[in-house]
Amino acid sequence: MDPRQGEKFELDRDVIGLTCVGAGEMFNAGQGGPQNQQLATQNFLRSCGFDYMVGCANLGESYELGRGIAKNEDAALAAYEKSCSDDLPISCYKFIRIVFWDANSQSNAPDNKQFASARRQSAIACDQQWVAQVSSCWYRGIFMIEARGGPADPAAALSAFRFTCDRSKEENGLNACYNVAVIHLSGPQELRNEAEAKRLLTAGCAANYEVSCYLLETIN
């Protein structure tokens, strides 16, 4: 077999995958004709079948939202997990978010497979510079400090929480700063820093984050 034929096949797969994504997005937006979410999802399904990862990401969203197809959380998770990568951290984030808030997967056992996968994907989403990096790092910190999907890793949790704490004034930022303070107060000895913990708790209390006020009172 001419090796160039294999290269051409791979090229054709990418072209087909890209073409199907383009068609799906047009059907989804109603460009050039009436909106048809069912046809959009069919094209995303074809694209993902050719391992075109943007198609898989779009397919995951269709399954998650029930857009053009019946809602199917397991199928959404499979599509997001398949497409999670440095190039598509949004798929990682969507997988993490579903698993984190899904009452059916709330087992902190280290062998929880969905948590283990979300834990791995949180590292990808937290490491990439993109619009939800700050939120991704908050999730990363929770998985690491609470031993979700693997052993507890206070140092990794501290790094993730610190990133969010330094960049967000929203509730997840206040929560991240609180968690940084908790690790500085009660984590491994090498991570303890009471002065920094008090500084963060004081700032959190001033921002009306009540748990920061409560913890600050207990150490003063």
Q: CA neighbours within 13 Å on the CB side: how many for 188?
A: 10
**Is the residue at 135 inside a domain?**
yes
Residues 70 and 135 in one domain: no
Establish if 27 belongs to a structural domain.
yes
Q: Give CA 149 to chain center in angstroms.
A: 14
Does residue 150 contact residue 121 with C-beta atoms inside 8 Å?
no
Residues 70 and 160 in one domain: no
Query: For residue range 178-199, what is the model confidence (pLDDT) as tens digits?
Result: 999 999 999 999 999 999 999 9
SS3 of residue 88 by DSSP: strand
Question: Which pLDDT value is given to residue 184?
Answer: 98
Question: Which residue type is seen at 189?
Answer: Q
Same-domain check for residues 54 and 116: no
Residue 40 lies in a domain: yes
> Are 78 and 183 members of one domain?
no
**How far is residue 77 from each of residues 12, 73, 94, 213, measured CA to CA in Å?**
27, 6, 8, 38
CATH number of the domain where residue 159 is located: 1.25.40.10
Q: Which residues of 100-118 are buried (b: 16+ CB within 10 A; e: fewer)?
A: beeeebeeeeeebebbbbb
Between CA 178 and CA 135 the distance in angstroms is: 15
Tens-digit pLDDT profile for residues 200-220: 999 999 999 999 999 999 997
pLDDT band with cut points at 50, 70 and 90 for residue 13: confident
**Which of the pair, 5 or 190, is modelled with greater confidence?**
190
Which pLDDT score is estimated for 220? 79
Question: Which residue bears the tokens 């001033």?
Answer: 206
Res. 75 pLDDT band, cuts 50 70 90:
very high
Asked whether residue 215 falls in the same domain as residue 132, the answer is: yes
**Looking at the structure, do residues 43 and 125 belong to the same domain, yes or no?**
no
Range of the domain at 137: 109-220
- Total domain count for the chain? 2
Residue 76 and residue 145 in one domain: no
Mean pLDDT of 111-128: 94
Q: Which residues, 6 or more positions from 152, have their beta carbon under 8 angstroms from its beta carbon?
A: 144, 145, 146
Residues 156 and 220 both lie in one domain: yes
Asked if residue 118 and residue 78 are part of one domain, the reply reads no
> Model-level pTM?
0.89
Q: What is the mean pLDDT of residues 63-67?
A: 97
Does some domain include residue 121?
Answer: yes
81-97 pLDDT, tens digit per residue, is 999 999 999 999 999 99
Nearest to 185 by CA among 150, 220, 151, 144: 220
Is residue 156 domain-resident?
yes
Calpha distance 140→128 (Å, rounded):
13
pLDDT in tens, 144-185: 999 999 999 999 999 999 999 999 999 999 999 999 999 999
Q: Residues in the chain, how many?
A: 220
Tell whether 184 is covered by a domain: yes
| Residue after which a domain boundary falls, among 66, 83, 100 | 83
Q: Does 73 fall in a domain?
A: yes
Mean pLDDT of the 33-59 span: 97
Predicted local confidence at residue 12, as pLDDT: 86
Task: Give the whole-angstrom CA distance, residue 58 versus residue 75.
Answer: 12
**Do 168 and 211 share a domain, yes or no?**
yes
Whether residue 119 is found in the same domain as residue 220: yes
Cβ 105 vs Cβ 113: under 8 Å: no
Q: What is the pLDDT of residue 102?
A: 84
Residues 68 and 117 in one domain: no
